[in-house]
Structure 1
Amino acid sequence: MKKLVQSMFLIVSILLCILYPKLTINGSVKGLQLWFNILLPSLLPYMILINLLKSCNGIGVIGTFLYPVFGRLFKISRLGCSTLIIGLLCGCPMGAKLLSEYVKEDQISIKEAEFLISICNQLSPAYLSGFLLSNISGKYELAIWKYLILMYGPAFLFGIIFRNKHTDTTLFSTKTISQCSHKTLDEIIMDSCYSITKLGGYIIMFSIMGSFMEYFLKGIPQELLCLGLGVLEITNGTEKIAGSTLHPLLKNVFMISLTNLSGISCIYQTKCMISESGISISKYVIGRLFQFLVSILFCLFLLC
């Protein structure tokens, strides 16, 4: 039954692309521009540098310094601490990619990875400050403390409430400390380019879906259309919300809460990164939904 539904969906998708080539091309171009102008320059350098750092076990050094604070706060290992900060700084899906690699290398347990992925696999500060904040409307421009609470408060609250009390807090095994992976720079660059290209495919696919959604659902209330586009893909959704005639408060609540949800596109990008690691995507989705709901409450409290 599942295969039948998937086949029917794909057949309908192909027919729509054939019948509406202009929508398909416009969506593809928009997705390609988003990937080339935003994702590629903001993520690929981090992928290469972090893989270089990982190949020399430099990430373990970061964890040693962070553990006294984050290890005790979230009950996570030293390697979990460094992955947490790297994921927050470099953005989705770098946190998921690192966790997946460490699980497959038996350096982090699946239990700890499933806990951490909802906290560290956030949109990057560069994206948030450069794209989201520029679209915040009118008198609701955010002070830095409000920005930090609205963007990272839901994730940290999730971590405190659901923190793992049975995590192995050892730093690394002796084998891990004493050996590097010995990956060459060429191998690291090729691996990073492969990962970023896969993400580009997802972005283009969801951008096309967004074009069709906007075309076929243009008669529905503007609030529902903006919400639907944001749930599907956050960047195009944010642009649509910012350019709409909605009340400024509603615009900001939509943009901030949907950013905490991250969108179906980011969820699929994350799924792509954690495939074959055993990390549950459903637990990640539950974590995103929790942060989405909490961010709405934070918005109503801080913006009203």
Structure 2
Amino acid sequence: MKILKLTKYFFPKFIVFFLIIGIVIFPETSIDAAKNGIHIWVDILIPSLLPFIIGANLIVSLKVVDILGYIINPITKFIFNVSGKSALVFAISAVSGYPVGAKLASDLRLKKDITSKESQRLVSFCSTSGPLFIIGAVGIGMLKNDNLGYLMLICHYLGAITVGLIFRRYGHEKRYKTESSMLNNIKSIINTPAEEGFFVSFGNSVINGVNTLMAVGGFVIVFSVVFNILTSFNIINFISSMLCIPFSVLGITKEVCSAFLSGLFEITIGCNNISNINAISEPIKATLCSFIIGFSGLSILAQCCSFIGKTDINTNLYIFSKFLHGIFAGIYTFLFYPLFQTYLPTSNFSFIYNSVYNNKAFDCYFNNFKIFLIITVILYIIFNLYFIYKIKD
């Protein structure tokens, strides 16, 4: 028992010390890795996540989630054994991507809008990637096949739903029908005066959104540096060699194992490394990328756990649910690939994606996102100064 306690105490310290030594020994590698992490954060994560995070925070604070939650509550209670407002977290996460779903679920638990068991069921399937990353970055940008991106997107959501169904009975908690009618509940929300005005809610949403993205950027940069240090010490090379031995029977090479390991640290780097390997077929590439996106990688897991850790949600069980998500997403992608090649009507999904993302508003935003970023930072500073002034009063 004493050895176990000593290991738990000293192991994290040893890891931190080891990484600091690595930064000192390989300064150029660390700087290049940090630059790469900053590039991913500024050019990919900020433009794709910032509006969704601010919008999601605003929707929650204005109680839009509560109203819509009562409307869809009967469906979500029957399927996932969660409340309607919980299921809306899945919809927002599905549109925006990591780590929005985990953050919103944590916020609902911190406000005690949902129980501990329900929040555990919620994070099991409401932490997903978004269409912009799966179709745009991976499908079109990396695998050069937008239709393959739609297949991976469908399988990603199917994997999340499957995990949600598995966790449906977690906690043996049953949701009982409330005595009040849906209309009475909605009237009660409307008639209840808001604790904060619109501009205060908007200011809080901007501040929380920017703070969240700052944390996300920090995690991406740190894990980018960590992976490159481990590579410089040949630790990744050693693990790849060990993994290659049992999987060599299946034709998996050391290069594939190394690319897959990079995805377990950071999904963008991993998916890009897998897409650049010529020795494996397209369905294997898609399957491995689907697992990595479903599992989300240590970088995103750390981001999500930083929010979940503030609540009584079990982080180990959350990580296990993400592992299951990756397994199911990969299996579905591999099984549905032949069907997708001949029968899947991806044009229907393409129309939905184009109507939501490929429009003038989004084109304007992505072409000028640095201007929007400057405006957001200015608003962030103004509202911070405003709240500091109010606290002094």
> Structure 2 length as normaliser, TM-score?
0.71
State the distance in 2 between where 1:130 and 1:140 align.
8
Match of 1:154 in 2: 159
Query: For residues 63-212 of structure 1, what are the structure 2 equivalents within 5 Å?
Result: 63-134=69-140, 137=143, 141-142=147-148, 144=150, 146-164=151-169, 166-167=174-175, 178-182=192-196, 183-212=200-229
Aligned-residue offset at 1:207: 0.7
Which of structures 1 and 2 has the bigger CA Rg? 2
Tell me, in whole angstroms, the C-alpha distance in 2 between the residues paired with 1:104 and 1:85.
Answer: 20
Q: Deviations 1:7-62 (Å, cap 9, x if unpaired)?
A: 22211111110110111001101111111111111111112122222221111233
Residue 266 of structure 1 aligns to which amino acid in structure 2? I
Change (3 A) 1:179 1:280: farther
| Cα pair 2:136 2:149 within 8 Å, conserved | no
Equivalent of residue 316 in structure 2, options 282, 295, 298: 282
Q: 2:54 aligns with which of 48, 51, 58?
A: 48
Q: Structure 2 unaligned segments of length 5 or more: list them.
A: 1-5, 242-253, 339-393
Inter-partner Cα distance in structure 2 for 1:140 and 1:28: 30
| Partners of 1:27 and 1:204 within 8 A in 2 | yes
Partners of 2:67 and 2:189 within 8 A in 1: no
CA contact (8 A) 1:76 1:168 kept: no
Tell me, in whole angstroms, the C-alpha distance in 1 between the residues paired with 2:71 and 2:120: 23
Query: Aligned in 2, Cα 1:167/1:283: closer, same or farther, shift over 3 Å?
Result: farther
Contact 2:80 2:168 survives alignment (8 Å): yes
Q: Using structure 1 for the length normalisation, give the TM-score.
A: 0.90
**C-alpha deviation, 1:254, in angstroms:** 1.0
Does the Cα contact within 8 Å between 2:98 and 2:127 map onto a contact in 1?
A: yes
Q: Deviations over 1:265-291 (max 9, x none)?
A: 111010111222111111111111112
Partner of 2:355: none
Counterpart residue identity of residue 165, structure 2: I
Partner of 2:268 in structure 1?
A: 235
Listed as ranges, the matches of 1:16-35 within 5 Å are 16-35=22-41
Aligned letter for 2:313?
I
| Corresponding residue pairs, total | 303
Does the 8 Å CA contact 2:263/2:270 hold for their aligned counterparts?
yes
For the structure 1 residues 138 and 48, does the alpha-carbon distance in structure 2 shift closer, same or farther, using more than 3 Å as the test? closer
| Alignment-mate amino acid for residue 113 of structure 2 | Q
**1:222 matched to 2:255:** yes
- Residue 185 of structure 1 and its aligned partner are, at CA, apart by 2.7
Cα deviation per residue 1:190-235 (whole Å; 9 max; x = unaligned)? 2221111111111101111222244424574112101110111111
Q: Is the 8 A contact 2:58 2:205 kept in 1?
A: yes
With over 3 angstroms needed to count, the CA separation of the structure-2 counterparts of 1:21 and 1:251, relative to structure 1, is: same
The offset of 1:188, in angstroms, is: 2.4
Offset at 1:105? 1.0
Question: Mean Cα displacement is larger for which, 289-298 or 213-222?
Answer: 213-222
Q: Which has the higher contact order (CA 8 A, sep 6+)?
A: 1
